[in-house]
Copies of this chain bind each other. A is one copy, B any other.
Amino acid sequence: MGLAKTEMFTDEQNKISLFAKAFGHPARVAILQHLFKIDTCICGDLVNEIGLAQPTISQHLKELKNLGLIKGNVEGTSVCYCIDKENWASMKDIMTHFLDQDISSNNCC
């Protein structure tokens, strides 16, 4: 089907999978890493930095923006993007909680 049955899962599980899905493409990972490194970044820089076409980058940026992980500010004809730190922090909390699960006992198999 290609359609996840989200209604049978908890809000937390759905939230984790939505964030994870955003990181599920190397271009979006690269965009985020570049935004962290440069702190702020014009969209056009990302098109040069990463090797994908401009509409493709724009599409990836839109997904990240819809999730709230980045913000975009129009500056003349260009758009300045940066990490939304508050939302990044709360995303990090959720993901870290998921990754930090631990079990005391030994491996079963």
Q: How far is the CA of A23 from the CA of B15 in the complex (A)?
A: 10
- Within the complex, the shortest CB–CB distance from A78 to chain B, in Å, comes to 12
A80 pairs with B109, CB closer than 8 A: yes
Given known A33-B13, A82-B107, contact A4–B20 (CB-CB < 8 A): no
Asked whether, in the complex, the Cβ of A103 is within 8 Å of the Cβ of B30, the reply is: no
**B23/A16 in contact, CB under 8 A:** yes
Q: Residues of B contacting A72 with CB < 8 Å? A: 109
Is the beta-carbon distance between A108 and B82 smaller than 8 angstroms?
A: yes
Known interface pairs A10-B30, A82-B109, A91-B99; 4 further A-B residue pairs with C-beta atoms within 8 A, sorted by A's residue number: A17-B23, A20-B22, A83-B103, A83-B107
List, sorted by A's number, 16 A–B pairs whose CB atoms are closer than 8 Å: A5-B27, A10-B30, A13-B30, A16-B26, A17-B29, A20-B22, A21-B24, A29-B98, A33-B101, A36-B102, A40-B108, A40-B109, A71-B107, A71-B109, A83-B107, A84-B107
